[in-house]
Amino acid sequence: MMRNRYLLAFTLLLAGCSLATKVPPVANAGPDATIPIGQPMLLDGSLSYDPDGGRIVRYDWQIVGTPEGREERRGEMLVEGNQEPVWTSPWIAREEDLGQWIFRLQATDDEGDIATDDVVVTIIQ
């Protein structure tokens, strides 16, 4: 009788483990920002995390929104496969870049799960 209880408990434990689901990471592209022309742009995904205890192994940044007249830059990948969460862009904004830009962070965890978050950067005079 006691052996059956242990067997039942062990079976339930194994069943519970197999029912556990993978949890995707949480991407956090940081707070919206305003920067003046000529200042380097810093994109910071360091608040991204993996709630199931894994780690973020890849940070990709893409332009997904642009001011009027700069639509040709939409979809452009700024950085792919970065292993560090913070990236300083070598791109320095000019006068034709004034306005709101939307950058998308894609964070990938060590199990290959992906999450995204957007940040708005407004470029001013």
Write down the domain spans for the chain: 22-124
Residue 12 has a pLDDT of: 45
In 3D space, the residue among 53, 46, 36 whose CA is nearest the CA of residue 97 turns out to be: 36
Q: Coil, strand, or helix at residue 78?
A: strand
* DSSP-derived secondary structure letter, 5: H
Residue 7 pLDDT grade (very low, low, confident, very high; cuts 50, 70, 90): very low
Residue 15 pLDDT grade (very low, low, confident, very high; cuts 50, 70, 90): very low
Residue 4 has a pLDDT of: 53
- Domain 22-124 superfamily per CATH: Immunoglobulins (2.60.40.10)
Could you count the other beta carbons within 10 Å of the beta carbon of residue 39?
11
Name the token pair of 42.
């810093």
- Mean pLDDT across the chain, nearest whole number? 88
User: Contact at 8 Å (CB) between 86 and 102?
Assistant: no
Q: Summarize pLDDT for 33-75 with one digit per residue, the tens.
A: 999 999 989 999 999 999 999 999 999 999 999 999 999 999 9
